Structure 1
């Protein structure tokens, strides 16, 4: 546990990447597997992860991210998007997938399905989209920690024109909406923020203990 704390103190939201240093493909594929294995409420996984390799598209994303350099300088970028339609159709599709993977009749999952549909019942589409958005942040946190463990730098980004990005990537037509961008790579030696003291509230101000 001491080692992971050291690693989390080492990581920071890297703003300046070494554009000449790239994540090797095998390592990147492992990070994608980390994302695939990310937890989500009910296991519904209401997300898509968009890996952007095209330089021209990256340039356009950079413009939509108000010129932030890490879009182009980082080795890789992933856009996290949540599904916009959280309904019984999504739940049914998931149940069919679970049944197939487990080799069971989907009817055996009716109790689970009804529980999920019951929890969604009465909630507005906006509330359900908010729930789906929260799931993408679980995945993003999972990726950020995994990057740090692998001594890979990363930067989570919310500062971008979401509507513009959704239009650029055709996400609306896919029933998706962008939520967060994570850039990954290796910090530049010119990044003045590297190695600075991490500023976090003391534990007395963060934790509430109920005995």
Structure 2
């Protein structure tokens, strides 16, 4: 199927078929897609938490405004940011570049030092917001890949991040939850699956100069 046809097929799934589970192969595609997501400087200050165990997800329902997708979906993806960005993160990133591309330090060091200085000028809150901006890029990328792969998904901001952090012990990992993406397969009786998309005409959303 064409990309546009698949994007027309996708919708924010309101009701998942709780009896259907995504294959390991499908989950692997989502893992790879997340890891390949573009991020500013390529620094990847994000982590993807994948929850499959439904019993583990049940307590999260009350922290998600009782949106049943959190439990009924095959898997719940939680996009997280680092609670801080430190010099070591940047050093490790450039060490990885050197190992993979064999780029000499004489070329890498000026870029590395500039990035260290830039982050040093930011407060922790500004660094977190910078990472949150990357999280939305990752969410959009995952949604598109889901559509192409025939995976149903529901992007969600409507949850209590602090409660998620506590329940999942994210602070021990130096992480904070930002966005949710339940994924799986739509239920046959989800009325929203057959509704026509409501979008403005292209002439109102695209400007060609």
- Which 4+ residue blocks in structure 1 deviate beyond 6 angstroms? none
Q: Give the aligned partner of residue 55 of structure 2.
A: 56
Q: Give the aligned partner of residue 165 of structure 1.
A: 164
CA distance in 2, matches of 1:15, 1:166: 24
Closer/same/farther in 2, CA of residues 208 and 118 from structure 1, 3 Å limit = farther
- Indicate the RMSD between aligned Cα atoms, in angstroms: 1.8
Closer/same/farther in 2, CA of residues 107 and 92 from structure 1, 3 Å limit = farther
Unaligned runs of 5+ in 2: none
Do structure 1's residue 99 and structure 2's residue 93 form an aligned pair? no
CA distance in 1, matches of 2:138, 2:165: 19
Q: Structure 1, residues 99-155: CA drift from partner, whole Å, max 9, x if none?
A: 222234545410221232343342222122111011111111111101100111101
Q: Give the aligned partner of residue 185 of structure 1.
A: 184
CA distance in 2, matches of 1:166, 1:71: 15
CA distance in 2, matches of 1:103, 1:89: 20
CA distance in 1, matches of 2:55, 2:126: 35
Q: Structure 1, residues 22-58: CA drift from partner, whole Å, max 9, x if none?
A: 2111122122111111111100000110111233221
Unaligned runs of 5+ in 1: none
Q: Give the aligned partner of residue 79 of structure 2.
A: 80
* TM-score, length-scaled by structure 2: 0.92
Deviates more, 1:55-64 or 1:111-120: 111-120
Cα distance, 1:205 vs. partner?
A: 3.6
Give yes or no for contact 1:95–1:106 (8 Å, CA) kept in 2: no
Q: Give the aligned partner of residue 131 of structure 1.
A: 130
Do structure 1's residue 194 and structure 2's residue 193 form an aligned pair? yes
* TM-score, length-scaled by structure 1: 0.91
CA distance in 2, matches of 1:128, 1:197: 40
Q: Give the aligned partner of residue 89 of structure 1.
A: 88
Cα distance, 1:98 vs. partner?
A: 1.7
Query: Paired residues, what number?
Result: 209
Deviates more, 1:73-82 or 1:54-63: 54-63
Give yes or no for contact 1:96–1:106 (8 Å, CA) kept in 2: no
Q: Structure 1, residues 153-192: CA drift from partner, whole Å, max 9, x if none?
A: 1011111111000011111222211000111111111101
Give yes or no for contact 1:49–1:79 (8 Å, CA) kept in 2: yes
